[in-house]
Amino acid sequence: MIVTEKKPINEIIENLERANAKSVHLFGCDTCAQQCKTGGEVELKEMTTLLTDKGFEVTGTSLVDETCYTQLAKREFRQKEELKGADAVLVLACGAGVKCVADSAEETQPILPALNSMFLTSVERVGKFYEGCSLCGNCVLADTGGICPHTDCPKSLLNGPCGGVDNGKCEVYTENDCAWVRIYDRLKEQGRLDIMTEFVPPKDHSVQGKPHKVLLR
Ligand code: SF4
Ligand code: SF4
């Protein structure tokens, strides 16, 4: 799941004005953005009121299960004249959702983001999110007791802690336990501390070349 936050309303209005949009269609997402309280039914209603009060015509709203699924966005464009006819579309979804809406629209129609995409999250419970993986493309969790040094250590160190550990706490985010202390403790519990004597080669950043594409057959 992708965590999103709302853009400031002033930025959204500025972007609408720069697109010369007097009318706007709102496009939400009933999965991640709904859970983040940034792009579900409630937020579509709030945005409708906000923009109407600012003098924009809101032509309608769309809410699909997954806005990051181009086929669902395309279906909305096929079925809704008010979506095709709006001066602009404001998308209350992550960047992948904005991209799918943009790929479904006519090239002449501006598609604008209402949210900032923040991170891939693990979900502890509804409304409680934490970053457990930063998509490095070369997972090392097998040797780190399931704790990600790439994500949980702010310096992304792969061969043990830096010199700043203070009583087991991280020197960068002092309220956090040092990721490498946690890794050490976990491997000790598992009787696998010998793993820590093995050198981990530098990350192969070439696997993060963008844009990624996968075609399963
Ligand atoms: S090492 Fe960390 S960032 Fe890389 S894939 Fe595994 S969990 Fe994700
Ligand atoms: S104290 Fe630990 S978690 Fe913090 S930056 Fe250093 S090694 Fe990484």
Kindly report the CATH class assigned to 2-120: alpha beta
pLDDT in tens, 185-195: 999 999 999 99
Q: Residue 208: is its pLDDT beyond 90?
A: no
User: What digits encode the pLDDT tens for the residues 154-168?
Assistant: 999 999 999 999 999
Which ligand is nearest the CA of 150, by number? 1
| 25 contact partners, CB below 8 Å, separation of at least 6 | 58, 59, 60, 61, 62, 80, 82, 83, 86, 88, 89, 90
| Residue 19 Cβ contacting ligand 1 at under 6 Å | no
Short-list 59, 57, 46, 62, CA closest to 9: 46
Which of 141, 157, 208 to mutate to test ligand 1, by most ligand atoms within 8 A of the CB atom? 141
pLDDT digits (tens, 9 = 90+) for 46-61: 999 999 999 999 999 9
Q: Any idea which residue has 């709102």 for tokens?
A: 26
Residue 65 has pLDDT above 90, yes or no: yes
Taking each helix axis as running N to C, give the angle between helix 9-18 and helix 41-53, from 0 to 180 degrees, rounded to the nearest 10: 60
Mean pLDDT, residues 54-74 taken together: 97
Q: What is the pLDDT of residues 92-136, one digit of tens each?
A: 999 999 999 999 999 999 999 999 999 999 999 999 999 999 999
Angle of the 95-104 helix axis to the 70-79 helix axis, nearest 10 = 50
Is the distance from the beta carbon of residue 136 to the nearest atom of ligand 1 less than 6 Å? yes
Q: Which residue ranges have their beta carbon within 6 Å of ligand 2?
A: 153-155, 157, 161-162, 164-165, 170-172, 178-180
Is the model's pLDDT at 84 over the cut of 90? yes
* Proximal ligand: closest to the CA of 208: 1
Q: What is the pTM of this model?
A: 0.93
Between CA 27 and CA 41 the distance in angstroms is 10
d(CA 148, CA 135): 10
Q: Enumerate the CATH 3.40.50.1860 domain ranges in the chain, comma separated.
A: 2-120
Q: Quick check: CB of 153 below 6 Å from ligand 1?
A: no
Ligand 1: residue of 122, 130, 134, 144 to mutate (most ligand atoms within 8 A of CB) is 134
Residue 199 confidence class, pLDDT cut points 50, 70, 90:
very high
